[in-house]
Each structure stands twice: as structure tokens, then as C-alpha cells.
């Protein structure tokens, strides 16, 4: 009889993270810090200050607010806003240094992505994978930083899987529940790792068992992905302030605009999930605009850059005429390549992969540029963006990063 899936996964997490993984983890930590900086003036931040007495709980609410958090395409989830608050909390609790934080972060990404890749289309139609798989990833990150052995780590992940949840219905209302999903996953994973460290045992067979996660939440779960290169390198960065399903068409629109060929009418062809989540011809809120293919095309056609300012209520009003000239439809060929590749075609121009994907990566300059833009949007001086880049990309002081976040969210 083969070992339980969580036992197999934990064995892959035990392999050492190389210097390349730690360097990559710094980039994702920086990207998450940028997202926090950009969200600090959002109404979610005000609610977080009242709800979260601890800085690392407060910032956990903020990483997903702007829809610019990193994303793994095949797992269909956003690791950064879940993993980093949990990892920083564990590092603060243990006094761990930057190397342990980054290795723990890489393991958290690995576990969260592996679980997400086993979940199926049925799961994604109802459940929010960042939430359902996120607690397991957060538990793996914290367990690594706590120095737990394999048995205790299996327990931590088993606890988190047994409490997985997060329904998509919240996206039908202009509410903050998505941020609660992310924060719950981060804090719950941390709590589960603490419990395992204290001796609470957890179920190794919780994924595939007869009353386990797969039985409850999937119809055709996939196999455990093979251990190979660390999957943090497969994660995409998001350069634009919209749902990731809108990014391919934004990329197309920018290319057409650069060639002076972005002219109405605008015909969008893309994959089925992009339409399911983002076919919104008449957005009425900022959140709906970020989940609107029509608005995203209008933003670029108007000469804008798809920054947070381009999805505000004033932008929604100003771009109504351009949105009305956008039609959307599914392209079966593009759907067939999804989710390995998020693609779109706009007025005949097709993008198979978009800027920020591993095939077309954002470099350090691109990420620090994103940080500068989001820091300014969040009301911080340029010097704070420089400070964040120095602490995360070159520093070894975890406490200094936490102190900076404390100042930003006080």
C-alpha cells in the first residue's frame, strides 16, 4: 500500500532549497510587499486596522486587494498573499533569519501549488482555490520555519486540509470576503503548524480518504505532481491591476496600440473561464471593473496603462462608450490550451502567454517599477519603495521588514 498523498508531498518538501529558489522567493516577497503598499489606503485597510490587532494579520488582508498578486496558472491560485504573512509570523515567533524565511516561503508555494494542481474544474467552479489550498501551503511554510519533522509536518498539513473552505459566491457581491478567505488561510495554516509542533496529530489521508477533501470538493482530482524543479519558478507576476483572466487581452491591446492598430470595434476571443469570470460589459464597481474584459480593453484603447487608477468609479464612467464597442466570445483553441497557458485574441492579434508569465518574465527592474507605482498609489514616498527593495532583495533582517510593514499599516 502506497503512502498517503500528504506523506508523499511532505517528503518532496524536505529536499533542500537551493540559492536559486531563495533568490526567486525574494522576488515574490517583494511583489507581495508591493501589493500591500498599494492597498494601504483602500477601505479594506481601514477595516483591517480595526479587525487585526497584529501587523501580520493586518497585512494578510491587503495582499489581494488590488488584484495584482502573483498567480500559478495550472493551480489557478495566488500563493503570495497567503504564504508570506504566515511565513513572516513563523519567522518572528522563532527569531528565524531571512534564509529560513525564504526557504519556508518556497516550501509553502510548493505545497499550495501541488494541492491546487490536484484540484479539478468542478472545484474551481465553486471553490476559491487560494483559500482551499492556501491553508495547506501556509502550514507548510510555517512548519518549515518551525523546523518540524516529517511526521509533524504531515499533521500540520492534515489539520489545514481538514478545515479547507472558501466559496466563490462572494464574487457576486461588492464585498470584502475574498480578503477574509486569504487571511483565514494564512492564519489557519500558521495555527495548524503551531498545533502540530505542540503534539496535535493530524490525518495523513485527508486528501484522498473516503470522507476527505477530494471526495467533498472534486469530481476528478488529479495525481500528486512529480517532484522536480521547485514550482515557485512557475508562478506568474501580474503587471496590471485587473483579474489575471483579463491580462492576456490587456497584453494584446497594448501590442495593438503600440502598432497604432487598436481601433474599434474590438472583438475579444479567449478561453471559457475568462468569460465565466470576466464577461462584464457594464461594471458598476471597482471590483467589477477589474473583472471586466470589456473595461480592460477600453482602458488600453483610451491610452491608459491598467494601473489601479484605471479601475476607479470615475474611470468606469469615462470609458462607457469604449466598453460598448467590445464584444467577447470563446475560442475553443485557446480554451484547449488553458490553464497551462492563459491566452486571448483581440482583433486578430493573439497572445498565448502574457507579460509576467515564466515564458515572458518580469525582471527585477519590472518588479521594482511595479513596487514604485503601487507605493505611490498607496500614498508612500518614493523613498519607501527604495527602502522596501533594499530590505527584501538585499537584506537579511526579517525584523526590519516587519517593522516597515508596521509603519505602513499603523
For the chain, the domains span 5-234, 244-351
Q: Which three cell numbers stand for residue 55?
A: 501587523
Cβ proximity of 66 and 111 under 8 Å: no
Cβ proximity of 398 and 47 under 8 Å: no
Phi-psi region of 17 (alpha: psi -120 to 50; beta: other; left: phi over 0): beta
Give burial (CB, 10 Å; 0-12/13-18/19+) of 365: exposed
> Residue 368 and residue 23: Cα distance in Å, rounded?
15
pLDDT at residue 106, rounded to an integer: 98
Hey, is 345 helix, strand or coil?
A: strand
Dihedral of the alpha carbons of 287, 288, 291, 297, in degrees to the nearest 10: -110
Tracing cell 494578510 back to the chain, one arrives at 60
Q: Nearest to residue 362, comparing CAs of 238, 185, 279?
A: 238
Mean pLDDT by 10 residues, the chain (410 residues): 92 93 97 98 96 95 97 98 98 98 98 98 97 98 98 98 97 94 98 98 98 98 94 98 97 98 98 97 96 98 97 98 98 97 97 96 97 98 98 98 97
Cβ proximity of 37 and 383 under 8 Å: no
Backbone angles phi, psi at 353, to 5 degrees: -125, 155
pLDDT at residue 52, rounded to an integer: 85
Homologous superfamily, domain 244-351: 2-methylcitrate dehydratase PrpD (3.30.1330.120)
Backbone angles phi, psi at 184, to 5 degrees: -60, -45
Hey, is 236 helix, strand or coil?
A: strand
> Residue 114 and residue 75: Cα distance in Å, rounded?
7
CATH classification of 5-234 is 1.10.10.60, yes or no?
no
Q: Which residues contact 32 (CB under 8 A, 6 or more apart)?
A: 63, 69, 70, 80, 81, 84
Strand 344-346, strand 349-351: pairing: antiparallel
Cis peptide before 59 (omega within 30 of 0): no
> Residue 31 and residue 8: Cα distance in Å, rounded?
30
Q: Which three cell numbers stand for residue 388?
A: 522596501
Model-wide pTM > 0.95: yes
Strand 344-346, strand 266-270: pairing: antiparallel
Q: Which three cell numbers stand for residue 15?
A: 529536499
Amino acid at each position: 500500500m502506497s503512502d498517503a498523498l500528504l506523506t508523499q508531498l511532505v517528503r518532496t518538501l524536505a529536499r533542500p532549497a537551493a540559492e536559486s529558489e531563495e533568490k526567486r522567493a525574494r522576488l515574490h516577497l517583494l511583489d507581495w510587499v508591493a501589493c500591500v503598499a498599494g492597498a494601504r489606503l483602500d477601505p479594506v485597510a481601514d477595516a483591517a486596522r480595526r479587525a487585526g490587532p497584529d501587523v501580520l494579520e493586518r497585512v494578510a488582508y491587503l495582499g489581494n486587494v488590488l488584484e495584482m498578486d502573483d498567480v500559478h496558472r495550472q493551480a489557478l491560485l495566488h500563493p503570495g498573499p497567503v504564504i508570506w504573512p504566515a511565513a513572516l509570523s513563523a519567522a518572528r515567533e522563532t527569531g528565524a533569519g531571512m534564509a529560513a524565511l525564504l526557504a519556508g516561503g518556497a516550501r509553502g508555494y510548493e505545497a499550495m501549488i501541488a494541492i491546487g494542481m490536484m484540484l479539478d474544474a468542478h472545484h474551481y467552479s465553486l471553490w476559491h482555490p487560494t483559500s482551499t489550498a492556501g491553508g495547506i501551503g501556509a502550514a507548510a511554510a510555517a512548519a518549515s520555519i518551525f523546523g518540524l519533522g516529517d511526521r509533524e509536518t504531515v499533521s500540520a498539513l492534515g489539520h489545514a486540509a481538514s478545515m479547507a473552505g472558501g466559496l466563490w459566491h462572494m464574487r457576486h457581491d461588492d464585498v470584502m470576503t475574498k480578503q477574509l478567505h486569504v487571511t483565514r488561510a494564512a492564519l489557519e495554516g500558521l495555527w495548524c503548524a503551531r498545533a502540530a509542533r505542540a503534539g496535535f496529530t493530524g490525518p495523513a489521508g485527508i486528501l484522498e480518504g473516503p470522507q476527505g477533501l477530494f471526495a467533498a470538493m472534486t469530481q476528478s482530482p488529479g495525481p500528486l505532481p512529480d517532484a522536480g524543479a521547485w514550482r515557485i519558478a512557475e508562478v506568474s507576476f501580474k503587471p496590471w491591476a485587473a483579474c489575471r483572466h483579463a491580462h492576456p487581452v490587456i497584453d494584446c491591446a497594448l501590442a495593438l496600440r503600440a502598432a497604432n492598430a487598436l481601433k474599434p470595434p474590438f472583438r475579444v476571443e479567449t478561453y471559457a473561464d475568462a468569460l465565466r469570470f470576466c464577461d462584464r460589459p457594464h461594471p458598476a464597481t471597482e471590483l467589477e471593473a477589474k473583472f471586466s474584459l470589456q473595461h480592460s480593453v477600453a482602458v488600453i484603447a483610451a491610452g491608459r496603462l491598467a494601473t489601479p487608477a484605471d479601475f476607479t468609479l470615475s474611470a468606469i464612467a469615462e470609458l462607457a462608450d469604449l466598453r460598448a464597442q467590445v464584444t467577447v466570445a470563446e475560442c475553443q483553441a485557446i480554451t484547449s490550451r488553458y490553464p497551462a497557458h492563459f491566452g486571448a485574441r483581440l482583433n486578430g492579434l493573439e497572445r498565448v502567454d502574457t507579460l509576467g508569465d515564466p515564458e515572458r518574465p518580469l525582471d527585477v527592474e519590472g518588479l521594482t517599477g511595479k513596487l514604485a507605482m503601487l507605493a505611490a498609489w498607496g500614498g508612500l514616498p518614493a523613498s519607501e519603495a527604495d527602502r522596501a527593495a533594499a530590505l527584501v532583495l538585499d537584506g537579511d533582517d526579517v525584523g526590519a521588514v516587519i517593522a516597515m510593514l508596521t509603519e505602513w499599516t499603523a
